[in-house]
Amino acid sequence: MNQTIDTTTAGGSDPRPAGRAASEPRRWRLADYPSLLTVPAILLLIAAMAYPLLTIVLRSFSEPEWSLQNYVWFFSTPVNLTVLARTFSISAWVTIVCVIAAYPYAYLMTTVGPRMRLVLIMCVLVPFWVSGVVRTLAWVILLQDSGVINSTLKAIGFSSIRLIRTQTGVVIGMAQVLLPFMILPLYSVMRGIDLRLVQAARSLGARPALAFLQVYLPLSLPGVFAGAIIVFILSLGFYITPALLGGPRSTMLSTLVQSQVLSLLNWGRGGTMGVVLLVSTFVLLAVAAPLMRQRHKQASRS
Amino acid sequence: MGYRSTFAGIAGATTLAVIAAVAHAQEAPAAGTIVDGSLKGKTLTFVSYGGIYQDGQVAALKEFVDKSGVTLLNDGPTEIAKLQAQVESGNVTWDVVDTADLPPYVHCGKLFQKLDLTKIDVSHIPAGQVGECSVPAMNYGMVLMYKNDAYKDNPPKSWKDFFDTEKFPGIRAIDGSGDPIGALIEQGIIADGGSVENMTPADIDKGIAKIKALGPDTIFWKTGAESQQLAESGEADMVMMWTGRAMTAVKNGAAYTPVWQDWMVVMDQLTIPVGVKDTDAAYALINAYLGKQAQEILTEQTSYSPIHNEAQPKVDASVAAFLTNTPDRVKQGYQQNIKFWVANFDAASEKWTALMAGN
């Protein structure tokens, strides 16, 4: 490692055997080894990601002693399984809400003029720059029983609805926080779709709905999948929003991990929960992957 | 051995013991004592929970810093998991750590040093609050606050009423910020008709079942700020609150009244982690912190109650209303069974976590 860095930065010296160098004196250039450019990123990933992850996995087996005790505990404690299932179902709901909310928005971004597009992009990005905690607290004020939504409902004669400390409230709050992660990939894909294809479909007699479903939608699916995966995976690890907007029946796995590690100092069990979440995410993605790939092909063919 | 020599032996031993006791008494400097220039060139890292609380602690320690010449660094917030990582890696950078009430008992001797009481003066600390590995950092309480217009003529008077959802309908809010609240589980057991005299682990289930029976609308707040917000917006009819938050909520106009009967005694603890570089310097900091003047400054700045029995902080009426160290309050206070909750910490945590997760 040291040698490569030395030679690339020094540039002048040639450490290779004389036999090859004899044909033509050659300088080492960074451009010949483009993969070297990834070294800083790889080092960072090893130090900040691979090593800690390995430690977590090892400790989930080794604490308090080497065995499967933590995994046995995880799968034999009902609350863990309930919360795991709930974590996936909340994440799925958040993803669905994000797709439904983001799709028309991203589409609108591709059809309006540049100035309006800038406004739309700012509407997505400005909340994105505000801390998640602040946004979540804003949702508390909106959703609570005496909050803006419920007092408006009461003022116009409806009965109030329970939003905060329910799963609905958590899904609303998380979807808002995660919406940019859905809109941006969708927009970048939709921007590349040639709208003349839709026009062509229409000129050949397709109704607007059919032209959309058979031409535009398949072409935009890669963006939907990319956004959905990002939103789904980020949702799985959410902590602050479910903690502030949720009640006991919307506790997610991260909260359980937190209590195992921070208040019980049970790193083994906390690690186990992390590993179970990670592995089940991988399994889910592996199941979903072929499905997506096929659709991608279909989209590119049409 | 004859009678005479036995007597002489006893007398000798007694004399020695008396001398030793006197020597000890002389060794322990009075709380608040600071030796001029004693820690010049040394550095101590004080760890607490940040915010106005830690600012107040730093203000209370100002005289110690000025006189002893120590350089005081501040860090936080306290996280036992972080401390554990430091102790395990043998690189402890936290010298004096302010913790919640149970950790020093749970991890005594493992993460926290057993305190040498000849190096600090604990004689002014409220009875029963000095642990093997900790002294209190301040006192406060967990108090039941009820909404005035929810229970006009017949307000709740005790935790028993808190658990009585028939006579006192309405939404309850409970401390769900982390560790199990032993005192609340105990009150649940009492409200269930049980006794906490000789609690067994099976009783934990009874207490938790009683909390669960409060119904699906029960709110478990995660932060003190959230509890305050619940009161200020009138979201809950009865809120279990930290006294500091209750005081601020009332100041901000929340129409709630405290029920002082069996308010739950809570404290922060001061500890010295295992493996600190200069134990004596850490003791010197704690001893200065326990002083009367330091405690008065702490209370004036933070509104938490002092742990020096002669401290007379100057505070306004709204703060004084929520201080927990007056004779009346001391009588009404309820102290959880620390020994029991330490011994059953894991089981209680597991059951509490399940309650928090809706199971």
Strand-pair partners of A74: none
Q: Is the dihedral of CA B18, B24, B27, B31 positive or negative?
A: negative
Chain B closest-CA separation from residue A273 CA (Å): 14
Q: In sequence order, which ranges of chain B are alpha helices (DSSP H)?
A: 3-27, 51-60, 62-68, 80-89, 103-106, 159-163, 182-191, 201-212, 224-232, 243-251, 279-289, 292-302, 317-320, 327-332, 338-343, 345-356
What is the structure's pLDDT at A50? 96
Q: What whole-number distance in Å separates Cα of residue B78 and Cα of residue B97? A: 7
B55 touches chain A (CB under 8 A): no
Check CB contact under 8 Å for B357 and A146. no
CB atoms within 10 A of CB A7: 18
**Sequence spans of domains, chain A:** 73-301
Q: Is the dihedral of CA B148, B149, B152, B158 positive or negative?
A: negative
Q: What whole-number distance in Å separates Cα of residue A129 and Cα of residue B76? A: 26
State whether CATH 3.30.870.10 applies to domain A73-301: no
Architecture of domain B140-265+331-356: 3-Layer(aba) Sandwich (3.40)
Task: Give all strands of the β-sheet with B135-147 in edge-to-edge order.
Answer: B71-75, B43-47, B96-99, B256-271, B135-147, B238-242, B172-175, B219-221
Residue type, B347: A
Task: Name the residue facing A262 among B79, B219, B350 (closest C-beta).
Answer: B79
Q: What whole-number distance in Å separates Cα of residue B52 and Cα of residue B50? A: 7
Check CB contact under 8 Å for B220 and A267. no
Give per-residue pLDDT as tens, B47-102. 999 888 999 999 999 999 999 999 999 998 999 999 999 999 999 999 999 999 99
Domains B10-139+268-316 and B140-265+331-356 share a fold: yes
- pLDDT band for position A9 (50/70/90)? very low
The CATH homologous superfamily to which domain B10-139+268-316 belongs is Periplasmic binding protein-like II (3.40.190.10)
Check CB contact under 8 Å for A146 and B234. yes
Q: What whole-number distance in Å separates Cα of residue A8 and Cα of residue A32? A: 10
User: Do the beta carbons of residue B192 and residue B186 sit within 8 Å?
Assistant: no
What is the structure's pLDDT at A295? 54
Task: Name the residue facing B353 among A82, A165, A259 (closest C-beta).
Answer: A259
CA B31 to chain centre: 19
B234 contacts on A by Cβ (under 8 Å)? 146
The whole-chain average pLDDT of chain B stands at 91
- Whole-Å CA distances, B334 to B131, B186, B269, B306: 18, 10, 18, 18
Residue B17, exposed/middle/buried by CB under 10 A (0-12, 13-18, 19+)?
exposed
B222 touches chain A (CB under 8 A): yes
- pLDDT over 50 (residue A12): no
Give per-residue pLDDT as tens, B40-57. 999 999 999 988 899 999
A78 contacts on B by Cβ (under 8 Å)? 359
CB atoms within 10 A of CB B99: 26
Give per-residue pLDDT as tens, A103-161. 999 999 999 999 999 999 999 999 888 888 888 889 999 999 889 999 999 999 998 89
Check CB contact under 8 Å for A79 and B179. no
Q: What whole-number distance in Å separates Cα of residue B55 and Cα of residue A27? A: 60
Percent of chain B whose pLDDT exceeds 70? 92
B355 contacts on A by Cβ (under 8 Å)? 248
Chain A closest-CA separation from residue B350 CA (Å): 9
Q: What whole-number distance in Å separates Cα of residue B32 and Cα of residue B25? A: 15
Query: What ipTM was reported for this prediction?
Result: 0.75
**Sequence spans of domains, chain B:** 10-139+268-316, 140-265+331-356
Among residues A158, A157, A121, A165, the alpha carbon closest in space to that of A139 is found at A165
Residues 149-208 of A with CB under 8 A from B: 165
B218 contacts on A by Cβ (under 8 Å)? 248
User: In terms of pLDDT, which residue wins out, B230 or A133?
Assistant: B230
Among residues A296, A76, A92, the alpha carbon closest in space to that of A175 is found at A92
User: Do the beta carbons of residue A122 and residue A290 sit within 8 Å?
Assistant: no
Establish how many alpha carbons lie within 13 A of residue B174's alpha carbon, considering only the half-sphere containing its beta carbon: 31
What is the structure's pLDDT at B15? 53
Backbone phi, then psi, for B259, in 5-degree steps? -105, 115
